Amino acid sequence: MKGLLLIATTGVLAGCSMLSGGDEPRYQLRPATYWIERLGRCGGRNELFGSALSRSCRKPVQAIRSMGPAAVPACVRALKSQRAGASGGAMAALWIYGPTAKSASPALVDMLLDFASRKGQIASGTGNLSATASVVATLMKIDPQPTEALPRLTMALRQPEPVPPASALPSARYEAATSTLRWRIWRIEVAYAAARLDPGNEAALVVLLDSLEYEDPELTSLSAEQRENLKHNRPVFDESGDFVRRRGESVGVIAVRDAAVREQAARALQLLMPTLVPLMSDANPDVVKRIASAFQSMGANAVPDLLSMMRRDRDPILRRNAILALGEVGAAASTAVESLRLLREDEDEIVRANADSMLKKLDPGYGRPSK
């Protein structure tokens, strides 16, 4: 009797499982959604970039490949799901399908533009650029020329900052300030996405450069002494000796939030380095000017990545442009002197000339006869 009940229960569960897949394609009687979630839970999104899949990922990958692009609609639904592994598995599956999954492009753009979903992600002023980068990489994989995605991202960047309703309640003021921070972080991530898809995107670069130098307008009214105290995490007082507060919060709290915006912009620009450097020799002088401004604003933060490109990249044009970018960084690039000296022996004539020119700027003693 128990055996019959077990068989009956198993049959009902199997039937429910099949029904839950609707009209999805199946592999070994399991619907696409099952395999997508399983692929996400096994970490398939990361492993697809490696040389070998773990045993737990092999079967989901086999299932995804076997079902083919017919599973793309299920991937689109999974991108919007809150179930464990769903969105990660969907992106891994789309990555496998490549351009045959181009119809999923709008859903990936929706993920980038979904400001409401950032409420739980952003804590203490930190966004999730790694997640944004994964979405963008998947979008570029399935749609190498995302002509429909760029207008939507650019339009979002040009939307004005939402003005929260005025309120006397401290909790409402805190929520308004937090919402503003989320909006700024979200906007930086959208700008990063737009710049990845279109490195010369003016709206994206403007947002990133402005965010890199962002400071709350009310903080700029502080005196030099107050700002120095703030810089060293000391209490800030006004002329009458009262502790300075804004909207019920100390200016120190606001300054931390402002710093979070600047830090996120710097991270986004550093992640964009491989796409920004080649534009230093763009035929459009306006593009070159904006890119040069980006490197100038990044300052010392840009130097490690530029040095890496100068030393290791085989493309002479990229090495040339990395040297030019160092020139825009200015004095903060002085740590690159030794690497520039080595590039005087580079096989490319223009690389050697650029290195020589940059050494004259960064090394006061360069070219002078020794005494």
pLDDT tens readout for residues 240-277? 666 666 555 565 566 666 778 888 888 898 888 888 88
Q: All domains of the chain, ordered by start, with CATH? A: 272-371 (1.25.10.10)
- Which has more pLDDT, 135 or 162? 135
Contact between residue 320 and residue 354 where contact means Cβ atoms under 8 Å apart: yes
Residue 84 pLDDT > 50, yes or no? yes
Q: What is the DSSP string of 231-273?
A: HTT---B-TTSPBPEETTEEHHHHHHHHHHHHHHHHHHHHHTH
170-197 vs 129-142: helix crossing angle, rounded to 10: 40
Assign residue 146 a region (left: φ > 0; alpha: ψ between -120 and 50; beta: otherwise).
Answer: beta
- DSSP letters, 81-118, are --STTHHHHHHHHHHHHGGGGGGGHHHHHHHHH-GGGG
pLDDT for the residue 252: 58
- Confidence at 356, pLDDT banded by 50, 70, 90: confident
| Higher per-residue pLDDT: 117 or 184 | 184
pLDDT at residue 168, rounded to an integer: 56
Tokens of 169: 């309640």
According to DSSP, the residues that pair with 31 across neighbouring strands are: 26
Contact 71, 30 (CB under 8 A): no
Query: Per residue in 209-229, is it b (16+ CB within 10 Å) or e — as a string?
Result: bebbebebeebeebeeebeeb
pLDDT at 62: 92
- pLDDT exceeds 60 at position 155: yes
Taking all residues of the chain, what is their mean pLDDT, rounded to a whole number?
79
Q: Residue 1: is its pLDDT beyond 70?
A: no
73 pLDDT tier (thresholds 50, 70, 90): very high
Q: What is the pLDDT of residue 53?
A: 61
Higher pLDDT, 331 or 50: 331
The more confidently predicted of residues 240 and 52 is 240
